[in-house]
Structure 1
Amino acid sequence: MTTRTTSTTSQSPAAAPLIDLQALVVAVRRRRRLWCALALVGLLIGAAVAVLLPPSPSAVAKVLVAHQQDQPNDTGTLIRTDVQLLQTTQIADRALRSLKSPEKPEDFMKEYRGTGLSNNVLQIDVTGDTDAEAVARAEALAEAFVADHAQRIRDIADAEAKGLLDQRDRLQKQLAEVNKEIGGRSADSDPKAAASLESLFARRADLTSRIADFGQRAEEARIGAPQLIAGTQIVDAPRAVRHSLPKAAVTDAVVGLVLGLFLGLALAAVGAVVADRPVLRRDIAANLGASVIAELPRRPGRRWQRRRTRSARERLTTTLARTVRGSAEAVSLLELGCARSTSAIALDLARALAAEGPLVVVDGLPGPQLAGRQKPGDPTVVSGERAAAVSPRERRIGVGSVAPGTAWTDLRYLGTRTVLVVRAGHGSAAWLHTVARQLADQRIPVIGVVLIDPDPRDRTDGTLWDGLGTALRGRSERPARPNGGGASHAVQAVGEGPRPAERQPMWAARVPDDDQEVR
């Protein structure tokens, strides 16, 4: 019976996007401890700042400012001018003199600020060593500003009135000259003399009218000034601002939480891009050139999840035991970033096969990982020189590591066929390529990959449909068509060599030549 398969090869490197957003999101989510910790640190720092560094005592006052050029369509230009005038040494010096303070105006200007609330309302905020001092400073500043504004209005009105009166006096001199000319002439029968006298009378009437107009305008200029001065006043008496410690703590804590969370997410994203550590099963399978055959959590999990974890481990043990029974060669388990989980899997497998005959577990892991997990009645665990004395008639299960620093030439002594036990997100893509290439150089086929600590939301396919020569799922399958047809590649049985038209795994297209390889 033949089985037809579908080719689902991964995307070629040339067509792959610069950044895989799905992998990036998964990597950031897996590093939630980092950004949650930074968010918590920001929350605590914000609350601590509010408690340990309370704001200085402050006071606020509001001043109603009347302008001579007030317009209904004013965009706030006049009140912004008043804000800038408040921040001048002249007003600061006048306020300090009323307070009899020796402080420099330049230093005092740093302790208060003005804010335009509307076109005619100015708010003054002042800080001090105590609430009383802040209130006194606010009152002095408000009074100094009102006095300065009133003085400027008077000066403008006086200057305008003086200009109008000077113009009136000049016209009065011209009127006196015209009156003098009129008095020196008499009306006679000469038509030209009568016309000239008539022109002088018209000139005198015009000058008299203009003199009266300038006088009236001068009076109006003086009359409008008191109205503007009276309209500029303190409408909200200076008062101390009460600070609520709980409210400030909550506000600062929320700000710190947001900043810490943003910083944590940014660091996690940048770290995921720079480190390039595959976390999706499709990426791990593509980089190692072997399919993912099982998944196990790194920790037992919560109480309602432990039953599911035990079932998954039992299924994995059954699958590996069936593979070891049907293999004439020794099988090894090689870990990458999960020595404890690999030790547990190896011991479970050894216990399942111990009843069928003599069995020895060859420990090639760094440290006492296997020895520390043994129970009474477990199969024998040997390591080092004792492994060479194991009888060839005894079934062996090798346990080793492919972490950086591995003695690659010793891996064949653990087993000529292997199952890789890889922790998701532990090894970089470059190191996964190195592992696949080194195992290929040692002629150690990879039966499959056991993924430890997978992402629970990962929905990608970890099966390589183009490399079935050593996959567990291809043990009893045969090609669907002799020369290919509907499927791009036919399924092979275990032990068959790769066909000439079969695609190579991803690492084979990326690794350098033998003379360029960096071990």
Structure 2
Amino acid sequence: MTTSTPSQGPGAAPLVDLQALVVAVRRRRRLWCSAGLLGLLVGLAVAVLLPPAPTAVTKVLVAHQADQPNDPGTLIRTDVALLHTTRIADAALRSLGSPDAPEDFMRDYGGVGLTNNLLQITVTGGSDAEAVARARALADAFVADHVRRIREAADAEAKSLLDQRDRLQDELAQVNKAIGEESPDSGPKAAANLESLFARRAELTSRIADFGQRAAEARVGMPRLVAGTQIVDAPRPVRHSLPRAAATDAAIGLVLGLVLGLAVAAVATVVADRPVLRRDIAAHLGASVVAELPGRPAGPWRRRRLRAARERLTTSLARTVRGGAAPVSLLELGCARVTGTIALDLARALAADGPVAVVDGLPGSRLADRRRRPGDPAVVSGERAAAAPAAERRLGVGSVAPGTTWTDLRYLGTRTVLVVRAGHGSAAWLHTVARQLAEQRVAVIGVVLIDPDPRDRTDGTLWDGPRTAPPGGAERPARANGGGASHAVEAVGAGLPRAERLPTRAAGTPDSDQEAR
């Protein structure tokens, strides 16, 4: 009984494959590691080449007439805003005897409210002494301006109260004059008028006393506010540690560089759409991943592993070639040099069975111009392949990179093994390769994946249903799938054990049913 899993439609595919995105970003680690290193170096350069200007800091305690325990900081923010005014800056410059413009000086200092009543002033200068002098002059100018505003407010309030008192005293004098002119013997009406004048005089006397008391209280609170506004922390230079600044700037640059590099790598991965998982590469090419070769070795043990993997790959491909009579080719995508090496290793393995000629179809005749070593097989160009003896086995080597002449691929071999570097070709180009090979009736035996991700745990086998190769390893012509991107995969020759046969496409296609009938 054969089961087949239906392929999902385009609408069921996720918008972004997070697993493929993570793998692709990890493969671009050189990019974001270089960006992080560049950010670290830039941070170090900024700390060393652009040291901060000499800075002085001072703290001022500011007393407010309208202080409240639940004040949200509005008053101290007002003081910070008043600190950045040309009046205070001009007063500080006059005390310093500096010819600088107040607008220019305001760019060299700043203030921040630490609490509702504590103001911190930071000033820069050409040297530590100049910065300290500027901070002291600025703090003194702010305190003097604040005290002056407190006194002006108290004087204005007291003057207003005293003006009200004087107006009431004038009215009281008129009332007293009216009382002196009235005679109690003039009758009941005069007595009633005199009584109202006495009541008015008492009211005016009370209000005059109240206004006088309030005017005195307005001036009483002023000394407390004046004494409460003072410099509580004398201006002092801020010491800058170069190692600490360098470490801080380097850490910030490293983080920003890594973030920027990761963002660029992620965006480039999504835009480029270059499959890196063996699952995706097999699906786009319509052929199973039958072997893998790691990337560039970084140590002796990895070189041994790469050598052992190449030997296993050569043995497997030699069995595949021996299992069929049709010529086999190796077609590369993004790994021409590795493909040439694999072809030479395979030709040496097949030389024990008879003469072997490697047909060089790579751009630039890379194999034909290569210096031969003792035991190397003959390498001929595509033009001389027709003149080779009929008894000589041919092994074609070509490319399916952009610019390939598709009609020449069939002359390299009607069966082929695709040697693809992970993350090199886009999904659209992998579909193009599969479609073009299907149209040229070149059967794909399998895919050899170069430089796969070591953490990739996806399955690169197409489990569309079993189909054994016919006796004698005869070929089946490749057919385009209904999706237009996949094609039939040729099984290994009948001489191979069943466990070593390559997975193929399902036999439920119309072509296979017709052949069965």
TM-score, normalisation: structure 2: 0.89
Which 4+ residue blocks in structure 1 deviate beyond 6 angstroms?
none
Task: Say which of 437, 440, 458 aligns to 2:438.
Answer: 440
Which one-letter code corresponds to 1:284 in the other structure? Answer: I
- After superposition, the C-alpha distances for 1:224-282 in whole angstroms (9 at most, x for unaligned) are 11111111001111111111111111111111111111111111111111111111111
Instruction: Provide the rounded CA distance (Å) in 1 between the counterparts of 2:511 and 2:299.
Output: 44
Task: Give the aligned partner of residue 184 of structure 1.
Answer: 181
Alignment of 1:368-387 (within 5 A): 369-370=366-367, 372=370, 374-387=372-385
Instruction: Check 1:476–1:463 CA distance in 2 against 1; reply closer, same or farther (3 A cut).
Output: farther
- After superposition, the C-alpha distances for 1:58-117 in whole angstroms (9 at most, x for unaligned) are 111110000000000000000000000001011111111111111111111111111011
Which one-letter code corresponds to 1:121 in the other structure? Answer: L
Task: Give the aligned partner of residue 292 of structure 1.
Answer: 289
Instruction: Provide the rounded CA distance (Å) in 1 between the counterparts of 2:324 and 2:153.
Output: 107
Q: Does 1:389 align with 2:387?
A: yes
Instruction: Check 1:491–1:498 CA distance in 2 against 1; reply closer, same or farther (3 A cut).
Output: closer
Instruction: Check 1:254–1:10 CA distance in 2 against 1; reply closer, same or farther (3 A cut).
Output: farther
Compute the displacement of 1:474 (Å).
8.9
Instruction: Check 1:175–1:316 CA distance in 2 against 1; reply closer, same or farther (3 A cut).
Output: same
Which one-letter code corresponds to 1:498 in the other structure? Answer: S
Compute the displacement of 1:307 (Å).
3.6
- After superposition, the C-alpha distances for 1:161-219 in whole angstroms (9 at most, x for unaligned) are 00000010011111111111121223338333333222222221221111111111111
Alignment of 1:498-513 (within 5 A): 498-499=512-513
Unaligned runs of 5+ in 1: 478-487, 503-519
Task: Give the aligned partner of residue 44 of structure 2.
Answer: 47
Q: Does 1:157 align with 2:171?
A: no
Which deviates the most, 214-223 or 295-304?
Answer: 295-304
SS class of match (1:19): coil
SS class of match (1:188): helix
SS class of match (2:248): helix
Compute the displacement of 1:386 (Å).
2.9
Instruction: Provide the rounded CA distance (Å) in 2 between the counterparts of 1:367 and 1:242.
Output: 65
Which deviates the most, 384-393 or 335-344?
Answer: 384-393
Which deviates the most, 347-356 or 467-476?
Answer: 467-476
Task: Give the aligned partner of residue 510 of structure 1.
Answer: none
Which one-letter code corresponds to 2:126 in the other structure? Answer: D
Compute the displacement of 1:301 (Å).
4.0
Backbone CA RMSD of aligned residues:
2.4
Aligned residues: 488
Instruction: Provide the rounded CA distance (Å) in 2 between the counterparts of 1:108 and 1:53.
Output: 21
Instruction: Check 1:475–1:300 CA distance in 2 against 1; reply closer, same or farther (3 A cut).
Output: farther
Task: Say which of 409, 418, 422 aligns to 1:411.
Answer: 409
**Percent identity, aligned pairs only?**
76
Task: Say which of 441, 451, 455 aligns to 2:449.
Answer: 451
Instruction: Provide the rounded CA distance (Å) in 1 between the counterparts of 2:408 and 2:23.
Output: 35
Which deviates the most, 286-295 or 74-83?
Answer: 286-295
Compute the displacement of 1:298 (Å).
2.2
Q: Which has the higher contact order (CA 8 A, sep 6+)?
A: 1
Instruction: Provide the rounded CA distance (Å) in 1 between the counterparts of 2:151 and 2:181.
Output: 45
Unaligned runs of 5+ in 2: 468-487, 497-504
Task: Say which of 325, 328, 338 aligns to 1:328.
Answer: 325
Task: Give the aligned partner of residue 480 of structure 2.
Answer: none
Instruction: Provide the rounded CA distance (Å) in 2 between the counterparts of 1:501 and 1:394.
Output: 32
Compute the displacement of 1:308 (Å).
3.2
* 8 Å contact kept, 2:323–2:495: no
Q: Does 1:101 align with 2:115?
A: no
Which deviates the most, 311-320 or 300-309?
Answer: 300-309
Instruction: Provide the rounded CA distance (Å) in 2 between the counterparts of 1:373 and 1:462.
Output: 36
Which deviates the most, 131-140 or 300-309?
Answer: 300-309
Alignment of 1:90-169 (within 5 A): 90-169=87-166
* 8 Å contact kept, 1:298–1:341: no
TM-score, normalisation: structure 1: 0.89
